Amino acid sequence: MEAYFDNSATTRVLEPVKDIVVKIMTEDYGNPSAKHKKGMDAERYIKEAAEIIAGTLKVAPKEIVFTSGGSESNNMALIETAMANKRAGNHIISTGIEHASVYNPLAFLEEQGFSVTYLPVDAQGHIRLEELEAAIRPETILVSIMYVNNEIGAVEPIEAISKVIKKKNPSILFHVDAIQAYGKFVIRPKRQGIDLLSVSAHKIHGPKGVGFLYVDQRVKIRPLIYGGGQQRGMRSGTENVPGIAGMGVAAKIMYTDHGEKMQSMTALKDYMIDRLSEIDGVTVNSLSGDLSAPQIVSASFSDIRSEVLLHALEEREIYVSSGSACSSNHPAVSGTLKGIGVKPELLDSTLRFSFGVYSTKEEIDYSIDVLKELLPVLRRYQRG
């Protein structure tokens, strides 16, 4: 059988998502900027998607800017907010466990003269609020902290973080990379004190190549892309109508009976943790229950390289990840695993199992049986 446990890299699209994407590509294919009926029909899809997504967050549709995905959303949130507010200060705060689409824009901003403080995390992957408070300076203009860590599923205390920031200086903007959190958590930016929020569609069973950035209407930010003035001038270029509509459908489905969906996913995560714990030489790096995200389990396998195990599992049609898929072509030691104190000898022996709405208990059982069979053989082979 096939067992797909790489849903944090990408997900299989839902059937209604596929249907609306195909319909728009083949029937309602007008340019949303056109003045004729096909153009107006296309524009209607965009408006409906914005309303659906805004509804899931309890924000205004005009505060949703559609992008090409999570990386663009993060780049826009960081670079264009920093540039727009640089007269107020040049200091940014983030963490040492961010995704490359946050870390690399921050590195670019450092080249432009900005100063960045990277907060460490504890053994569970959480920042310490007192260290955040101590890091805030008079020249701090932006804080960027991910909601859910993409490698171990650690959930940061977003509302508490915002309270620390806003108490120290209400003008400091708070950006949240919610790419692994949207669809899994009920997120309320206004209540939680989030000024900017990044999301990607293909993490929630939507299409690839589309996402959005929530921008509170009070935020001062520049466009990343200039051109024809689409999306109120915030993101020029003809909109990806099939992708946007598909994302809207995916968002609506994920937030329908949301509690039941996440309860089932958490049960799968906990079952995977229990089954992995049966195997000698396996260390689980993710927390069970509500202490971590419902869709991610990180596990380290002693005396075997993660890449070797990944490909051995692949031969049995079990698909997992050895790190962030967005960085998989550039192997490097995980800052997250180092940050939480994983033993040095296990840093290159860790896999991520991630779940979606199509994941099943039977897939877990199959995978555990295969692991129990493979691990002794692979360890003997690696020892020579």
Residues assigned a catalytic role: 326
d(CA 365, CA 343) in angstroms, rounded, equals: 28
Pairing of strands 318-319, 3-4: parallel
d(CA 294, CA 287) in angstroms, rounded, equals: 10
Q: Which of 300, 294, 291, 354 minimizes the C-alpha distance to 324? A: 354
Q: Which of 306, 316, 295 minimizes the C-alpha distance to 342? A: 306
Helix (H) or strand (E) holding 379: helix 361-383
Pairing of strands 296-301, 350-354: antiparallel
**Burial letters for 278-288: b for 16+ Cβ neighbours within 10 Å, e otherwise?**
eeeebbbbbbb
| Residues present in the chain in total | 384
Q: Which of 138, 88, 141, 91 minimizes the C-alpha distance to 112? A: 91
The tokens describing 104, both together, are: 């690399």
* Cβ atoms 6, 356 nearer than 8 A: no
The tokens describing 6, both together, are: 């790489």
Helices 306-314 and 361-383: angle between axes, nearest 10 degrees = 130
The tokens describing 200, both together, are: 């990607």
d(CA 302, CA 318) in angstroms, rounded, equals: 20
Pairing of strands 196-200, 91-95: unpaired
d(CA 217, CA 82) in angstroms, rounded, equals: 16
The tokens describing 329, both together, are: 């072509």
Percent of the chain that is helix, strand, coil (3-state, to 5)? 45, 15, 40
The tokens describing 229, both together, are: 């003035």
Q: 15 Cβ partners below 8 Å, 6+ apart?
A: none
